[in-house]
Amino acid sequence: MRFGFTEDQQRFRAHVREALRSPEVRAAAAEATGADGVEPDARPLYRLLGRLGLLAVHWPAEYGGSGRPPTDAAIVAEELVRAGVPDTFHVNTVQIVGQFLLMAGTEEQKLRYLPAMARGESFASVLYTEPDAASDLGALRAVARPEGDGYRITGTKVFSLKTRFVDLGLCAARTTPGAGKYQGISLFLVDMTDPGVTVSVIPGIGDEHFHRVDLDAVPVPGGDLIGPRDGGWPLLNEALAVERTGLDYHLKAERWFGTALDALLDEGPDAAHEEHLERIGRWHGALTTDHVLCWEVLTGLADGRVDQLAAAVAKYHSSELAQSVAAWAVGVPTPRQRADRTPEALVLDSAHREAPGLTLSAGTSEVMLQIVTAAFDSLGQEEH
């Protein structure tokens, strides 16, 4: 387990931090930040970050990256959030879909799609969850029917973010219906601009909007099948473990905690906040622990280890912590700060509306606990 960073990582972090402090980046980040239920288009900001070479630093150079270690990508992710950059495009496009292509895509697919993602010129989302299926991907009903050298996908997906802005969807569909709950599933890259794709907003309270995606016989070339036909379930399991580092949830919790502290400090040196001191100490300790858990998963991935148990623990702890921090922090701004709509009050109001979904995305807390329980049950059986 690691508790610090190397000199090279510290130098790299300083370089990233300096680039993100430029007036151009700060202005673009402010324009891309949603508030009061309004979700702006963050793509201009990401095109700027792409020109700075900050989106996919760990990808090989032939795919648009800088060939740096995977842990440096986590350093970038940390500094993006700390600089006020909305992170959903980065999480979905680079950390999830792009990483999935690196893991399971063909060389032709990588060369065709990854460089544009690294430049901030192409964006992607995940199309897994379906109505009434919750987090059980084995219950999906979308069907990909063979047609010529390709397929046509029909089905409905829900709860994806930024979907009205993206070019590609990583879609799970059944290529062999009736083969079994976790058999006969394949993964595809879907062109989200196709006329058969309809994207609509799901009403909600967050500043980022969830979407419903209806796929009506959407054509997908055979070259956009990711991995083997009917071999999607093992890939999904591995991809979800890679996705569940917990870092993105930790960074939200860290930002909301820091914003709450700023709101307390804005009351002036004479303000008394003894009622918050114990809670502040506990949150600080929990955040420190959470950061270690996340980096334990990240360093394992950098060494080629996909530990589903460690990932489930990190995802559970970080998402539950972020939700709890948000519930506490929303009560920190005073009535005056709320009435004046200070920046701190706006951030924490948004956090309170976003936080309930964190324990659902990338697998619910209940699913994470099931993974942990199954791992310990298996360990107990081996000991006997």
pLDDT confidence tier of residue 382, bands split at 50, 70 and 90: low
pLDDT band at 269 (very low <50, low <70, confident <90, very high): low
Quick one: 140 and 218 in the same domain? Answer: yes
Residue 115 falls inside a structural domain: yes
CA atoms of 16 and 54, how far apart (whole Å): 8
Lowest mean per-residue pLDDT among 169-178, 236-245, 276-285: 236-245
Q: State what percent of residues in the chain have pLDDT above 70.
A: 96
SS3 349: helix
Q: Is residue 235 part of a domain?
A: no
- Same domain flag for 68 and 173: no
Q: Which residues contact 154 (CB under 8 A, 6 or more apart)?
A: 142, 143, 145, 215, 216, 217, 218
Length, in residues, of the chain: 384
Q: How far is CA 113 from the centre of its chain?
A: 19
pLDDT score at 15: 96
DSSP character string of 123-135 = -EEEE---TTTTT
Indicate whether 62 and 170 sit together in one domain.
no
Residue 215's SS3 state is strand
Question: Is there a single domain that holds both residue 103 and residue 30?
Answer: yes
66 assigned to some structural domain: yes
Say if residue 226's pLDDT is above 90: yes
Specify the CATH number for the domain of residue 327.
1.20.140.10
Among candidate residues 256, 254, 270, 277, the one with its CA nearest the CA of residue 333: 256
Question: What pLDDT score was predicted for residue 338?
Answer: 85
Q: Identify whether 1 is part of a domain.
A: no
Could you tell me if residue 177 is inside a domain? yes
Question: Which CATH number does the domain housing residue 196 bear?
Answer: 2.40.110.10
Q: Do 60 and 163 share a domain, yes or no?
A: no
- The answer, yes or no, to whether residue 12 has pLDDT greater than 60, is yes
Could you identify the residue written with the tokens 């036909």?
229
Banded model confidence at residue 135, pLDDT cuts 50, 70, 90? low
Which domain range does residue 40 map to? 7-122
Contact yes or no for 151/175 (Cβ under 8 A): yes
Tokens 């989200």 sit on residue: 192
| 272 and 158 within one domain | no
Residues 115 and 143 in one domain: no
Number of domains in the chain: 3
The tokens for 52 are 């700075």
